[in-house]
Amino acid sequence: MARSTIFFICFLTLTALHGIHAVEYLVNNRATTTPGGIRFRNELGAEYTKQRMAAASEFIWRIFQQNTPAERINRPQVILFVDQESKYVAYVVNNEIHVHDDYIENIKGDIKWDFNGVLFHEMTHIWQNGLGKAPVAVTEVIADYVRLKANYIPAHWVKPGGGDRWDQGYDVTARFFDYCNGLKNGFVAELNKKMKDGYSDSYFVDLLGKNVNQLWTDYKANSDSSYTGSAAANSGVVKSDFKNSADVNSGAEHSVTVNSGDAFADTSVNCMAYSAETFVARSNNLNHAAGLKFDPG
């Protein structure tokens, strides 16, 4: 009887602890009458999306080697909104993911595969360190690295070894980070851990013993032979897939205004802001994720 009582108390304690750290996933389709909102409801749906949000979280925690809730960012709730009138394919503000209904409407091919690629990218922003502290080129790259490892690689991504600079961003640097993680398993996890307090290029020396420019030189030299990467894809954007595809690769500068206190990380423009200011967003490389950027109107 005593053993049964002790077991029951332990069970209740573990259940309570689990409840404290459990994440609630919510979906709010605010575009129910638009073609994209209707397609979301009919072909994706709230229940499927919540399942994939949970699966993405588990995958990201494994990438970050965060095996216990204490090691993770504390977010009891994550909400995905399907929005109208957005100028972005998708973006994150605090614990919210916002997805544009036009993006859903214009997905070609397998809607679940395409949507999951964007979702895994955005869910990474929910759980990663460094937003507002590290360069956008680094935080966005980690999100695309997760997308790469989840095997949701768009056809327009560069092949391994492509690109001109290590900090070119998105698919280019995601491939480079894949190479770095191959040099030391857990590199991305350790980098994310260090970014909790800020960012420095010296982290590459700390983790891999070489500065980032030397690593980039090595990567470029090895890319044609020893490094094959993950499922190399053809470069070039499939522009017919998206409404605003004419904007892709323009490299233009635009201004983004956000509300005070917002921690903003967006998949389509190389921009992050966290105060009531207008930030100039330079797109270093828009060959990524859904292939859209905002229309300055």
CB 227 within 8 A of CB 163: no
Does this model's pTM top 0.75? My answer is no
| Contacts for 159 with CB less than 8 Å, ≥ 6 apart | 175, 229, 232, 233, 234, 235
The CATH class of 25-282 is mainly alpha
pLDDT at 158: 94
- Give the C-alpha separation, 140 to 297, whole Å: 24
CB 73 within 8 A of CB 127: yes
User: What's the token pair of residue 286?
Assistant: 């828009």
| Contacts for 161 with CB less than 8 Å, ≥ 6 apart | 175, 219, 220, 222, 223, 224, 227, 229
pLDDT at 251: 27
- Tens place of pLDDT per residue across the chain (297 aa): 555 555 445 444 444 444 456 999 999 999 999 999 999 999 999 999 999 999 999 999 999 999 999 999 999 999 999 999 888 999 999 999 999 999 999 999 999 999 999 999 999 999 999 998 999 889 999 999 999 999 999 999 999 999 999 999 999 999 999 999 999 999 999 999 999 989 999 999 999 999 999 999 999 998 864 444 443 332 222 222 223 322 322 222 222 223 323 333 443 332 322 222 222 222 323 223 333 332 222
pLDDT at 270: 29
Domain assignments of the chain as residue spans, ordered by start? 25-282
pLDDT at 4: 53
pLDDT at 28: 98
